[in-house]
Amino acid sequence: EPEVTQTPSHQVTQMGQEVILRCVPISNHLYFYWYRQILGQKVEFLVSFYNNEISEKSEIFDDQFSVERPDGSNFTLKIRSTKLEDSAMYFCASRARTGQETQYFGPGTRLLVL
Amino acid sequence: ELKVEQNPLFLSMQEGKNYTIYCNYSTTSDRLYWYRQDPGKSLESLFVLLSNGAVKQEGRLMASLDTKARLSTLHITAAVHDLSATYFCAVLFSSGTYKYIFGTGTRLKVLA
């Protein structure tokens, strides 16, 4: 069964460094999402992406964050200058098309900023 | 303010018992989702509810939506240990912009 994959599974970085989190959505899916979950807390929406552009973003998704779909299969989240409070689990999700509402989540990348 | 509230936050129940998790939201919504999350794992989509009165069932779980009351319920029938997990509801708000807001989650523990 097709699934969303994410790499790396864990990343440790120093404050101020740039990180890129990678996701491969399910093939033929058209809608892509990033969420984060700080340990023990609820899931927070970051951004949605459709037709090669951001369709919605939350207040969390400030200028430090960017997303890209560089090659038609990968979907990346970049954090330009990480802060301690960026430490969280980051989930990518994809959805097939309009009318198909189920989002399929990847296994997540656990980011630790020191 | 867009808010999604779940209760209870924690639920410990005996196998074989029934219980309901509640999800209230603050304003008109287009979609309501229920997810399951096992410890240290990702989210698994359980249900998507699209309209008032929608009811969906899968195994021992049944979800319903009352858009007038801005309330969704996740009912557990004859709980089994395998249902132990954290359950999140999430709401898509589309007044002007689209935003997905998750509830705080309900940590369910089913005791054998």
**Secondary structure class of A28 (helix, strand, coil):** coil
- B43 touching A, CB under 8 A? yes
The mean predicted confidence, pLDDT, of chain B is: 92
- List the single residue in A42, A91, A102 with the smallest CB-CB distance to B104: A42
Give me the CATH number covering residue B41. Answer: 2.60.40.10
The three-point CA angle B22-A61-B39 to 5° equals 45
CA–CA distances in Å: residue B41 to residues A4, A90, B85 = 13, 11, 10
Residues 48-67, chain B, touching A (beta carbon < 8 A): 48, 50
Q: Residue B79: which domain range?
A: 4-111
Q: A20 to chain B nearest CA, in Å? A: 19
At B97-106, the pLDDT tens digits run 678 899 999 9
Confidence of residue B29 (pLDDT cuts 50, 70, 90): confident
Give me the CATH number covering residue A24. Answer: 2.60.40.10
Check A44 against B102: CB less than 8 A apart: yes
- B93 touching A, CB under 8 A? no
Q: Which of B8-12, B22-26, B99-103 has the least mean pLDDT?
A: B99-103
Residues of chain B in contact with residue A32, where contact means CB-CB under 8 angstroms, are: none
Q: A83 to chain B nearest CA, in Å? A: 23
Check B50 against A101: CB less than 8 A apart: yes
Nearest to A47 by CA among A35, A30, A64: A35
DSSP conformation letters of A45-95: EEEEEETTEEEEE-TT--TTEEEE--SSS-EEEEESS--GGG-EEEEEEEE
DSSP conformation letters of B59-96: TTEEEEEETTTTEEEEEE-S--GGG-EEEEEEEEE-SS
pLDDT of residue B28: 82
Q: A15 to chain B nearest CA, in Å? A: 24
pLDDT of residue B96: 67
Nearest to B35 by CA among B109, B102, B80, B111: B102
At B52-83, the pLDDT tens digits run 888 999 999 999 999 999 999 999 999 999 99
Check A45 against B104: CB less than 8 A apart: no
Residue A32 is given by DSSP the state E
- Number of structural domains found in chain A: 1
d(CA B43, CA A107): 8
Q: A67 to chain B nearest CA, in Å? A: 17
Q: If you count them, how many residues does chain A have? A: 114
pLDDT of residue A45: 94
**Secondary structure class of A110 (helix, strand, coil):** strand
Under-50 pLDDT residues of chain A: none
Q: What is the dihedral of CA A74, B103, A89, A14, to 10 degrees?
A: 110
pLDDT of residue B27: 85
Check B41 against A106: CB less than 8 A apart: no
- Number of structural domains found in chain B: 1
Check B100 against A108: CB less than 8 A apart: no
d(CA A6, CA A18): 18
What percent of chain B has pLDDT above 70?
97
Is residue B15 a contact partner of residue B40, using CB atoms and an 8 Å limit?
Answer: no
